[in-house]
Amino acid sequence: MTVNQNELLSALVDGELQGKELDDVLQLLNTNEQARRQLQRYQHTSDLLHDHSVSHHHIDLTDRVSAALDDDAAFTTSSNNTAQIIAFPKHFWKQAVSLAVAASIGALAVVGVMTQPENQLIQPPQMASVEVETTPMVVAKTGKRWTVEEQEIEERLNSYLVDHNEYAGASGVFSYARVVSYDMGQ
Amino acid sequence: MDLELVQRVQAGDKKAFDVLIMKYQQRIVHVITGFVHDPVEALDVAQEAFIKAYRAIPNFRGDSAFYTWLYRIAINTSKNHLTSRARRPPAVDVDAMDATNFYDAAELKEFETPESSLMTDELQKTIHQAIEGLPEDTATAIKLRELEGMSYEEIAQAMECPIGTVRSRIFRARDAIDKQIQEIMGEGE
């Protein structure tokens, strides 16, 4: 044991080593039993000064703990429980937004249909003082199928629901949304 | 430095954990004997606490000092030991595993004996006498470090000298104290 090595061990007791010096002293402790004993004596002196010591003998648990941990694999950097950012695919957000829009439309359609009283014709609101000739949009229930009298509106609504159904079916999510299918033929 | 050692353990360097054990084992056993008075059991609980610490070390993020974290593990392990011991009869025989601990157990049986206390007192007195016999600079450096808990940088500022000089003075003090202790303990190399 050189003076420099003992000085490193003394600095190790004080927690004042880092980097290459710490590497060197760890290497020394791995290969030199005398260095381990010297470190323990320095540490024991420090413990005695701080009244941390329970015995005037050195207590060495390293062998016992090492033996008990023999079967434990050494940790790897990847096993560290460090915080990691989950990277979503670039198209994730686009798909998520599309899904959210489709689900909202589907939900609105379901809620709208469910809140209509049976066999009720939907009347446009009457304006109190202005006489305007209105063309009522009439939705009627024929059997299990709703019909809209205006072809353009019916086609647009059909298109929304078919799009929604296709998306729901393709994504594998919300497949139950098929119940809102407007036209069984589509 | 503890954090650097912990990071090395987390990166797979098992031997770095040995240094942490050597550094804190006396303090941890000292803490545990506040709960577990039987010296043999105290060593077993300390061993268990270090094993738990090693297995939990991937989760150590450095939010607190390593010793604070280890201290909590030691306290919990001690309490769990007391709880479990209350539910089971005391061991009456020694199996092969315990047999390997006989050497340490024999030492720990001296914890509470008058002879052991006397020896510890004698060692502490020797250390203080050795410090008083050191050159003033060396004695001041070791006192500031061990008794005041100052870092090398703080000591260097207080003593108006380079950090390397502080390290050297503290080492010389420890070396002198170690020689005195070895004379008493009969551990001369």
Note whether A143 and A117 are same-domain residues: no
Between A31 and A160, the more confident residue is A31
Note whether A87 and A179 are same-domain residues: no
Note whether A76 and A56 are same-domain residues: yes
Model confidence at B107, in pLDDT bands (50, 70, 90)? very low
DSSP one-letter code for A79:
G
Q: Contacts of residue A66 in chain B, CB cutoff 8 Å?
A: 14, 18
pTM tops 0.90: no
Q: What is the DSSP string of B122-164?
A: HHHHHHHHHHHTS-HHHHHHHIIIIIT---HHHHHHHHTS-HH
Please state the rounded mean pLDDT for residues B81-107: 53
Q: Which of A78-87, A156-165, B105-114 has the highest mean pLDDT?
A: A156-165
Residue A124, pLDDT score: 56
Percent of chain B beyond pLDDT 90? 46
Best probe of the A interface among B10, B25, B109, by most A CBs < 10 A, is B25
Query: Does residue A20 sit at the B interface (CB-CB below 8 Å)?
Result: no
Note whether A80 and A51 are same-domain residues: yes
Last residue of a domain, one of A104, A128, A152: A128
Is residue B84 pLDDT above 80, yes or no? Answer: yes
Give the model confidence (pLDDT) of A25-40 as tens digits.
Answer: 999 998 999 999 999 8
The CA distance from B111 to A31, in Å, is 32
Model confidence at A169, in pLDDT bands (50, 70, 90)? low
Within 8 A by CB and 6+ apart from B14, the residues are A66, A69, A74
Q: Specify the number of domains making up chain A.
A: 2
**To 10 degrees, what angle do helices A3-13 and A33-49 make?**
40
Model confidence at A66, in pLDDT bands (50, 70, 90)? confident
Q: Contacts of residue B116 in chain A, CB cutoff 8 Å?
A: 55-56
Burial class (CB in 10 A: 0-12, 13-18, 19+), A4: exposed
Within 8 A by CB and 6+ apart from B81, the residues are B35, B36, B41, B44, B45, B48
Residue A126, pLDDT score: 57
Mean pLDDT taken over chain B: 83
Residue B131, pLDDT score: 92
Between A82 and A42, the more confident residue is A42
Beta bridge partners of A145: A142
Give the model confidence (pLDDT) of A119-153 as tens digits.
Answer: 555 555 555 555 556 565 555 555 555 566 677 77
The CA distance from A109 to A168, in Å, is 14
Note whether A25 and A56 are same-domain residues: yes
Note whether A124 and A140 are same-domain residues: no
The parent domain of residue A139 ranges over 135-186
Model confidence at A18, in pLDDT bands (50, 70, 90)? confident
Last residue of a domain, one of A82, A103, A128: A128
Note whether A28 and A81 are same-domain residues: yes
Residue B111, pLDDT score: 62
Q: Contacts of residue B23 in chain A, CB cutoff 8 Å?
A: 13, 15, 43
Last residue of a domain, one of A107, A128, A149: A128
CB contact under 8 Å between A50 and B146, yes or no, is: yes
Mean pLDDT taken over chain A: 72
Q: Among the listed ranges A52-66, A88-102, A160-174, B89-103, which one has the minimum average pLDDT value?
A: B89-103
CB-nearest to A52 from B1, B30, B100 is B30
Please state the rounded mean pLDDT for residues B25-54: 89
- Tally C-beta pairs within 8 A across A and B: 169
The CA distance from B63 to B149, in Å, is 21
ipTM of the complex: 0.79
Burial class (CB in 10 A: 0-12, 13-18, 19+), B31: buried
Query: Does residue B139 sit at the A interface (CB-CB below 8 Å)?
Result: no
Note whether A87 and A176 are same-domain residues: no
Give the model confidence (pLDDT) of B127-161 as tens digits.
Answer: 999 999 999 999 999 999 999 999 999 999 999 99
Note whether A108 and A74 are same-domain residues: yes
Residue B176, pLDDT score: 93
Note whether A122 and A153 are same-domain residues: no
CB contact under 8 Å between A42 and B101, yes or no, is: no
Note whether A121 and A148 are same-domain residues: no
Model confidence at B106, in pLDDT bands (50, 70, 90)? very low
Residue A117, pLDDT score: 61
Asked if residues B2 and B17 have their Cβ atoms less than 8 Å apart, the reply is no
Residue B139, pLDDT score: 94
Is residue A82 pLDDT above 50, yes or no? Answer: no
Note whether A106 and A151 are same-domain residues: no
Burial class (CB in 10 A: 0-12, 13-18, 19+), B179: exposed
Between B49 and B116, the more confident residue is B49
